[in-house]
Chains A and B, each alone.
Chain A
Amino acid sequence: MKICGPKLSLCGLIISVWGIVQLVLMGLFFYINSVALIEDLPLEEEYHSLEDFYAAANRAYNQNAYNCWIAACIYVLTLLLSAQQFYMNSRVTAN
């Protein structure tokens, strides 16, 4: 079954690989509470106490880490899909 052409499947392949590598790493960095990524957390402007902030930040860090990994998993799916498409396309042109 062929859905995408050779260029689209190649594009999907590259973005998937890139996405998997970067998102797994970013998930890891979120998981270990990397300070560099704090601006990308869904946090409020102000918190009343330090404990509140810490709790929220930890929750957000974990949440983002899981989100990153979920996205990475989705990219594994697109990787498989585009790899299969790529294979189909290359087989068509080889014939």
Chain B
Amino acid sequence: MGSLFRSEEMALCQLFLQSEAAYACVSELGELGLVQFRDLNPDVNAFQRKFVNEVRRCDEMERKLRYLEKEIKKDGIPMLDTGDSPEAPQPREMIDLEATFEKLENELREVNQNAEALKRNFLELTELKHILRKTQVFFDESVPTVYKSSGAYSSSKYRRYPQMADNQNEDEQAQLLGEEGVRASQPGQNLKLGFVAGVILRERLPAFERMLWRACRGNVFLRQAMIETPLEDPTNGDQVHKSVFIIFFQGDQLKTRVKKICEGFRATLYPCPEAPADRREMAMGVMTRIEDLNTVLGQTQDHRHRVLVAAAKNLKNWFVKVRKIKAIYHTLNLFNLDVTQKCLIAECWVPLLDIETIQLALRRGTERSGSSVPPILNRMQTFENPPTYNRTNKFTKAFQALIDAYGVASYREMNPAPYTIITFPFLFAVMFGDLGHGAIMALFGLWMIRKEKGLAAQKTDNEIWNIFFGGRYIIFLMGVFSMYTGLIYNDIFSKSLNIFGSHWHLSYNKSTVMENKFLQLSPKGDYEGAPYPFGMDPIWQVAGANKIIFHNAYKMKISIIFGVIHMIFGVVMSWHNHTYFRNRISLLYEFIPQLIFLLLLFFYMVLLMFIKWIKFAATNDKPYSEACAPSILITFIDMVLFNTPKPPPERCETYMFFGQHYIQVLFVLVAVGCIPVMLLAKPLLIMQARKQANEEVQPIAGATSDAEAGGMSNGGSHGGAGGHEEEEELSEIFIHQSIHTIEYVLGSVSHTASYLRLWALSLAHAQLAEVLWTMVLSIGLKQEGPVGGIVLTCVFAFWAILTVGILVLMEGLSAFLHTLRLHWVEFQSKFYKGQGYAFQPFSFDAIIENGAAAAEE
């Protein structure tokens, strides 16, 4: 079990693997997920590596699987996801898998092609059916139109119809002739009228009609009818609306023109026999063919469904297998080939504590592959910075993620995550303190924790939900801590609970109460003398005039006290870093002056608050009565600026205790004196040490600057042992140190003030909750009469939704972000560098999870 407080100790190891055992060994290591391999051929591109062929085959298999998956999803067949991961198959199984996928894919493609062809056929037939049916209507209805008035068609062409009623029996087309047709038929030439029937997309029809009219100068006649049911487009499966049209014309020239226009508008033309009997016959034929096609289509669909259902059972399993094989070959590509081609050489980062487990896994791998020569794991010396690996469990993971979001810790640096587990929910709760809202949040977190397994198995790609679920322990802790601070503030949905009975009592008589609008309770007479046992006295709930003033004074001081303690804690953490890295110069000339600076100025201010709380009370006589209590802020400002304090009120004292003035002057002088020490001591000492160590003697500077100089400049090179401590220029050290000092000194002031956000947000939260209660819920409560209950029901639901939406979600998010900032900036800036890089072990679990996520996008 590694320590939570620092990242794991890592070792760079060389791994010699027999070529035949390499696959099995890497597979075992992948299951283990504790080894990070380094690329030993960084200058070789992806296509020149040894196992490029295998990787490509895996890619091909994955593509086939994705195709299968897409088809399965299209049909809405549920995929079996058992959640267990099968072991990586042997290399020879790959061929079987490939063959299976090949067969499946081909089968599916064939089925799909057939289905498409059939569907196209079906579409054509249905269109033909519609044409026959609709054109029949056109032909039929032309007979009655002749006898009806011409009002139905106001076009001038139709006015002639009654005149030609006598020859309508000879030829159906003749009725549809225009003037020209009449003229043409009158000489008895009996010109045959041609027609073309087809189907066109409905939205193209108006343009089509206009085009026809213009191109043929109005010499063609177009009739159209909508097909009511939408037809399925066989290529993409969309539902499209189409219309049947029939065009009558005269002469071959017009015919070619019309056909070209039809082609241009992508209309499909169908042959339509002229004689009604033929048409009827054809319609019958079409109907029978459609029925035949339907059965065939049904069978094809059944077949496809069977194939897909069979594939769906194994699909996830296959995916896992293929991804594992691919990952193994990908890893093998990172290895170096021995000269003799007998063994592969790998370099990897390994946590020191797990070397045993890794050895075991390697032995298992060798046994499985049947190789006789055991693999060799050999520790190497290196000057490179090892990766940072913090072992986490499901509880600490989210907190570690909060830290890593700022920056991954430098190797073996103090890890703030374990402290964050407590401070984060606590500082959040200081801002979010409300028993009711905290309970909602805690219940939500508790529910997620209780249903953890089921919810984790669901695996949605809803990002917001995943964030909530990942942070379930944080949410739960934040909720519980908020309930606690809510009890302290005595706020539940902005109302107070009077659990123990208020310790204030009213001593006014009836007439006083009746005559005065505002009354004061004196802490001398009306207060019991002992405080309410837990949290705020509920009497403040009804103190409309000075409730906020009282709360502000309390919350402001509390936030400064927490802030200063938090920052001092951060500085103390830097002490652990300096001692661990044996950085004596930083310890003496950075940590100590920093701590002194913080203690003498800001912790002194905190002490003043406590002194004020203890010494001054309303029941005391002057000079320690409430009227004499000095303002801490003014005292502090006077102290730092060496101002002479304002004369106190009568019979009061300027200072709270004896010698305060001298102590304050001393403190400020010492604190200011710390600044040049922080600024200059370290660079000067390094300069001096370098001067002394002009020869090859290992200088002190090597020890002092290894945290920074070694850490930063050493990243890439691991060639030379010496000479890496000289790399940081002296001027850079000076600049770096001055920036650091200025940041610290100015930061102490601004960070202390920054903790006031604890007060500000808590005030805002309390006020918002109160506003919501008085503006919304009160309306429901103030309803008179029996209707009140019903109104209250509605108002309550509205209030509940607003409470969750605004107060819990939005305010919670805002408080969360402020807490995050307090940790990242105010706390971690005191000790945390965050310049490491994360340990990314070769692990099948991670690869499969990422693969699944990438595929779903």
Smallest Cβ distance from A47 to chain B, in angstroms? 10
The stretch from A1-9, A59-67, A86-94 touching chain B is: A59-67
**Which of A35, A38, A50 makes the CB contact (< 8 A) with B514?**
A50
**Which of B498, B788, B800 makes the CB contact (< 8 A) with A15?**
B800
B778 on interface, CB distance cutoff 8 Å:
yes
In Å, the complex CA distance between A18 and B796 comes to: 10
A15-B800, A36-B541 are contacts. A42–B790 as well, Cβ < 8 Å? no
**Which of A40, A63, A66 makes the CB contact (< 8 A) with B778?**
A40
**Which of A15, A40, A50, A78 makes the CB contact (< 8 A) with B801?**
A15
B789 on interface, CB distance cutoff 8 Å:
yes
Which residues of chain A come closer than 8 Å to B721, judged between CB atoms?
Answer: none
Within A38-90, the residues touching B (CB, 8 Å) are: 38-42, 50, 63-64, 66-71, 73-75, 78
> Is there an interface contact between B542 and A40, defined as CB atoms closer than 8 Å?
no
The stretch from B131-139, B176-184, B779-787 touching chain A is: B779-787
> Is there an interface contact between B796 and A19, defined as CB atoms closer than 8 Å?
yes
**Which of A19, A42, A78 makes the CB contact (< 8 A) with B783?**
A42
B538 on interface, CB distance cutoff 8 Å:
yes
B495 on interface, CB distance cutoff 8 Å:
yes
In Å, the complex CA distance between A42 and B781 comes to: 8
In Å, the complex CA distance between A70 and B734 comes to: 75
A15-B801, A70-B786 are contacts. A75–B793 as well, Cβ < 8 Å? yes
In Å, the complex CA distance between A66 and B796 comes to: 15
- Chain B binding site: helix, strand, loop or mixed by DSSP? helix
Which residues of chain B come closer than 8 Å to A64, judged between CB atoms?
Answer: 781, 788
**Which of B510, B541, B781, B793 makes the CB contact (< 8 A) with A19?**
B793
In Å, the complex CA distance between A39 and B547 comes to: 15
Residues of B in contact with A, size category? 20 to 34
Which residue from chain A places its CB closest to the CB of B797 in the assembled complex? A15
> Is there an interface contact between A19 and B797, defined as CB atoms closer than 8 Å?
yes
Map CB proximity to A onto B763-798 as digits: 1 under 8 Å, 0 otherwise. Answer: 000000000001001101111111011101100110
A19-B797, A23-B796 are contacts. A67–B789 as well, Cβ < 8 Å? yes
> Is there an interface contact between B792 and A70, defined as CB atoms closer than 8 Å?
yes
Which residues of chain A come closer than 8 Å to B783, judged between CB atoms?
Answer: 42, 67
Which residues of chain B come closer than 8 Å to A15, judged between CB atoms?
Answer: 797, 800-801
In Å, the complex CA distance between A19 and B793 comes to: 8
Number of interface residues of A (CB under 8 A): 27
Smallest Cβ distance from B137 to chain A, in angstroms? 43
B496 on interface, CB distance cutoff 8 Å:
yes
Which residues of chain A come closer than 8 Å to B793, judged between CB atoms?
Answer: 19, 70-71, 74-75, 78
Smallest Cβ distance from B144 to chain A, in angstroms? 51
Which residues of chain B come closer than 8 Å to A39, judged between CB atoms?
Answer: 774, 778
Which residues of chain B come closer than 8 Å to A37, judged between CB atoms?
Answer: 495, 781
> Is there an interface contact between A63 and B495, defined as CB atoms closer than 8 Å?
no
> Is there an interface contact between B778 and A70, defined as CB atoms closer than 8 Å?
no
Map CB proximity to A onto B790-820 as digits: 1 under 8 Å, 0 otherwise. Answer: 1011001100110000000000000000000
Smallest Cβ distance from A77 to chain B, in angstroms? 9
In Å, the complex CA distance between A37 and B800 comes to: 18
**Which of A22, A36, A67 makes the CB contact (< 8 A) with B542?**
A36
Smallest Cβ distance from B365 to chain A, in angstroms? 44
> Is there an interface contact between B788 and A67, defined as CB atoms closer than 8 Å?
yes
A15-B797, A36-B495 are contacts. A71–B542 as well, Cβ < 8 Å? no
> Is there an interface contact between B781 and A67, defined as CB atoms closer than 8 Å?
yes
**Which of A38, A40, A66 makes the CB contact (< 8 A) with B789?**
A66
In Å, the complex CA distance between A74 and B792 comes to: 10
Which residues of chain B come closer than 8 Å to A34, judged between CB atoms?
Answer: 498
> Is there an interface contact between A70 and B541, defined as CB atoms closer than 8 Å?
no
Which residues of chain B come closer than 8 Å to A67, judged between CB atoms?
Answer: 781, 783, 786, 788-789, 792
In Å, the complex CA distance between A37 and B782 comes to: 11
Smallest Cβ distance from B50 to chain A, in angstroms? 50
Smallest Cβ distance from B572 to chain A, in angstroms? 43
> Is there an interface contact between A70 and B788, defined as CB atoms closer than 8 Å?
yes
> Is there an interface contact between B796 and A71, defined as CB atoms closer than 8 Å?
yes
Smallest Cβ distance from B455 to chain A, in angstroms? 14
Which residues of chain B come closer than 8 Å to A69, judged between CB atoms?
Answer: 789
Which residue from chain B places its CB closest to the CB of A78 in the assembled complex? B793
Which residues of chain B come closer than 8 Å to A50, judged between CB atoms?
Answer: 510, 514
Smallest Cβ distance from B561 to chain A, in angstroms? 29
Within B510-542, the residues touching A (CB, 8 Å) are: 510, 514, 538, 541-542
**Which of A36, A38, A40 makes the CB contact (< 8 A) with B777?**
A40
**Which of A18, A35, A36, A68 makes the CB contact (< 8 A) with B792?**
A68
**Which of A18, A41, A68 makes the CB contact (< 8 A) with B782?**
A41
Which residues of chain A come closer than 8 Å to B777, judged between CB atoms?
Answer: 40
In Å, the complex CA distance between A75 and B780 comes to: 15
Which residues of chain B come closer than 8 Å to A23, judged between CB atoms?
Answer: 792, 796
> Is there an interface contact between B800 and A18, defined as CB atoms closer than 8 Å?
yes
Interface centre among B496, B790, B797 (most CB of A within 10 A): B797
> Is there an interface contact between B786 and A40, defined as CB atoms closer than 8 Å?
no
In Å, the complex CA distance between A38 and B774 comes to: 12
In Å, the complex CA distance between A74 and B538 comes to: 31
Which residues of chain B come closer than 8 Å to A68, judged between CB atoms?
Answer: 781, 789, 792
Which residue from chain A places its CB closest to the CB of B796 in the assembled complex? A19
> Is there an interface contact between A42 and B782, defined as CB atoms closer than 8 Å?
yes
Smallest Cβ distance from B490 to chain A, in angstroms? 10
> Is there an interface contact between B495 and A71, defined as CB atoms closer than 8 Å?
no
Q: Can you list 15 A-B contacts (CB < 8 A)?
A: A15-B797, A18-B800, A19-B797, A23-B796, A35-B542, A40-B781, A42-B784, A63-B785, A64-B781, A67-B783, A68-B789, A69-B789, A70-B788, A71-B780, A71-B789
Knowing that A19-B793, A37-B495, A78-B793 touch, tell me 9 more A-B residue pairs with CB under 8 angstroms. A15-B797, A18-B800, A35-B541, A40-B778, A40-B781, A42-B781, A70-B793, A71-B792, A71-B796
Give the B-binding residues of A (Cβ under 8 A).
15, 18-19, 22-23, 34-42, 50, 63-64, 66-71, 73-75, 78
User: Lowest 5 CB-CB distances: which A-B pairs, in order?
Assistant: A70-B789, A67-B788, A71-B792, A40-B781, A71-B793
